[in-house]
Amino acid sequence: MLTESMIPIIQQAIKHQERTAIIDQTGQYSYRQLLDAAVAVAQGLLEGRTDLEGRADLDEARITFLVPSGFEYVAVQWGIWLAGGIAVPLCTSHPLPEQLYVISDSDAACVVIYAQFDERGAALSEQSGKPIRRTTDLLATEVSNSFSLPELPLTRRAMILYTSGTTSKPKGVVTTHQNITAQITSLVEAWNWQADDHILHVLPLHHTHGIVNKLCCAMWSGAICEMLPKFEVTRVWERFINSNLTLFMAVPTIYGRLIAAWEQASPDEQATMSDACQKMRLMVSGSAALPAQFFERWADISGHRLLERYGMTELGMAISNLYEGERRVGHIGQALPGVTVRLVDEANQPITEDGQQGQIQVKGDNVFLEYWGKPEITAEAFLDGWFCTGDIAVLNDGYYRILGRSSVDIIKTGGYKVSALEIEEVLRTHPAIKECAVVGTPDLDWGERVSVAVALKSDETLSLDTLRAWGKERLASYKNPSRLLVVEALPCNVMGKVTKPAVKELFQE
Ligand code: MCA
Ligand code: AMP
């Protein structure tokens, strides 16, 4: 039955059935177990239909799922794909309103819930009006002999990931199986993924870094993906020491924490920790700029020159330092296989000279299909078939170097992209706040910190702790401001518009 499936990652997994695919808190699972579980989930979701596609407007059914990192997450993702649906992961640590937004914006057919999230599932179902499907029930589906999987073209939509941007609310980035396959194969080739690889997975599974670079590349290659529920520094060092890892990938904030833990260890422990790193073949950093001091310190500690790469939810990965070749500090590298990259000036003319700054534009099968339900915004994101990233870079002797972003309203914190506008919209509903401006302020650990300047209504007071406690119910932890400045009035230009650079300066003072 599975041999009929045209989904490339499934075809790859069939080649490796007896190998170990996943190690998680509950045990160790082979590719065969994973495929069996995915088929059960697919049959459970299809409920007698032949394909999850089938609504009048020919959209594939969006299936949101709230499942922690581990075997069941992958089984559900693949089950949705096998059934012809679009996988829409929900972030397990998000507060209720953020999860409800994704369910409502994607107009999900149902929400798949992991058993231990029953309480949250009930709240989501009640407030969204969507049916709940429990993973335990889906996995227990008895697969009938007559069950067959739908035939899917590679152009079938496969996934929607929500990313913050220059619009206030996050946008759903839609990728097809073809896009995801291109994103995976480019990295498998560039970083030399092999079946005997073993990666430690510590990233959230609602973003490309965790889903494509770590999980899907491992599954494509027949490798082992060892999944921790979340990043914990001591646990990661323990796995470095006691597991046969070959690969590690993370955001700069995580390398900063690993460095800090190493520095606090005793000399004997440090030696063991450093030896453990030497056993690995590759360590990658991305999602945000890697500070040079992290690069240098990590090289001293681990013997690895971190391979820095550049990507975006809309693209997967586009630019990378070399696996075999130069890894240049402060640079993101060269275009990846199958990806075409160029820099353009403000008149959208290609830049050919070294050292001249411009916006990065990208073309290739890796580039996403559309923003879900937003045709105008999708059209605006492309110029002459090139996707406009909004990132400003220069080319130095064949290597790209990021200089900044074209929008001040996009903040990168802990590897997450967040929108100042989205956070401001939520903060404006706080009873004490008259007006507010959110900016990113530089921070070695987080890259940038979400920082807010507020003018208060008369007779009101506000502390950072009170604001954060209030924000916790409404915003993801990484969007909740960690710096607060109370001002009489926000700095404005002659038109009365808040000037964000001046707000940033207030924080420097
Ligand atoms: C959490 N906290 C923060 C932040 N995040 N404070 C300031 N700034 C932040 N960004 C606070 C919480 O409110 C909480 O505070 C305390 O820290 C612990 O929260 P927790 O959520 O447990 O945080 P953590 O575990 O310390 O998180 C650090 C982390 C995480 C592991 C680095 O941020 C992370 O997983 N980042 C990776 C994100 C990622 O995968 N990005 C890829 C997307 P309190 O104790 O007061 O409550 S980008 C992408 O996919 C593109 C394609 C690409 O290029 O890769
Ligand atoms: P996201 O929308 O969360 O996928 O984040 C994509 C953004 O992360 C890019 O547009 C860049 O601004 C940033 N980014 C990713 N990798 C790097 C890197 N190595 N250096 C600097 N910025 C990066």
pLDDT, tens digit (0-9, with 9 covering 90-100), for 177-210: 999 999 999 999 999 999 999 999 999 999 999 9
| Residue partners of 300: CB distance under 8 A and separation at least 6 | none
Give me the phi and psi of 163, to 5 degrees please: -130, 140
Check whether residue 20 and residue 121 sit in a common domain. Answer: yes
Check whether residue 148 and residue 217 sit in a common domain. Answer: no
| pTM score of the predicted model | 0.97
Cα gap 31→223, rounded to integer Å: 10
**Which amino acids bring their CB within 6 angstroms of ligand 1?**
93, 203-204, 207-210, 230-231, 251, 253-254, 286-287, 311-313, 413-416, 446, 449, 477-478, 480, 482
pLDDT for 54? 61
pLDDT for 56? 41
Check whether residue 41 and residue 144 sit in a common domain. Answer: yes
Instruction: Look up the CATH number of the domain holding residue 256.
Output: 3.40.50.980
Domain that holds residue 139: 8-152
Q: What element of type H or E holds 311?
A: strand 307-312
Report the domain count for the chain: 3
Instruction: Look up the CATH number of the domain holding residue 419.
Output: 3.30.300.30
Burial class (CB in 10 A: 0-12, 13-18, 19+), 501: exposed
Q: What phi-psi label fits residue 2: left (phi over 0), alpha (psi between -120 and 50 degrees) or beta?
A: alpha
Q: Which of 162, 285, 310 to mutate to test the pocket of ligand 2 (most atoms within 8 A of CB)?
A: 310
475 CA distance to ligand 1 middle (Å): 13
Counting from 1 in the atom list of ligand 1, the atom nearest the Cα of 449 is 8
For residue 336, pLDDT beyond 70: yes
pLDDT for 59? 59
pLDDT, tens digit (0-9, with 9 covering 90-100), for 129-181: 999 999 999 999 999 988 899 999 999 999 999 999 777 799 999 999 999 99
Inside any domain, residue 71: yes
Check whether residue 103 and residue 223 sit in a common domain. Answer: no
- What is the number of the ligand closest to the CA of 412? 2
Inside any domain, residue 26: yes
- What mean pLDDT comes out for the span 390-419? 95
For residue 58, pLDDT beyond 80: no
Check whether residue 125 and residue 218 sit in a common domain. Answer: no
Check whether residue 130 and residue 245 sit in a common domain. Answer: no
Inside any domain, residue 363: no
For residue 5, pLDDT beyond 90: no
Tokens for 181, please give them.
């396959």
Alpha carbon distances (Å) from 361 to 285, 355, 384, 386, 387: 22, 17, 10, 6, 5
CB 274 within 8 A of CB 263: no
pLDDT for 57? 44
Cα gap 186→178, rounded to integer Å: 12
| Residue partners of 49: CB distance under 8 A and separation at least 6 | none
Inside any domain, residue 162: no
As a whole number, the mean pLDDT across the chain is 95
For residue 255, pLDDT beyond 50: yes
What b/e readout covers 289-301, taking b as 16+ CB neighbours within 10 angstroms?
A: bbbeebbebbeeb
- In which band, very low, low, confident or very high, does the pLDDT at 55 lie, cut at 50, 70 and 90? low
Check whether residue 144 and residue 212 sit in a common domain. Answer: no
Check whether residue 143 and residue 267 sit in a common domain. Answer: no
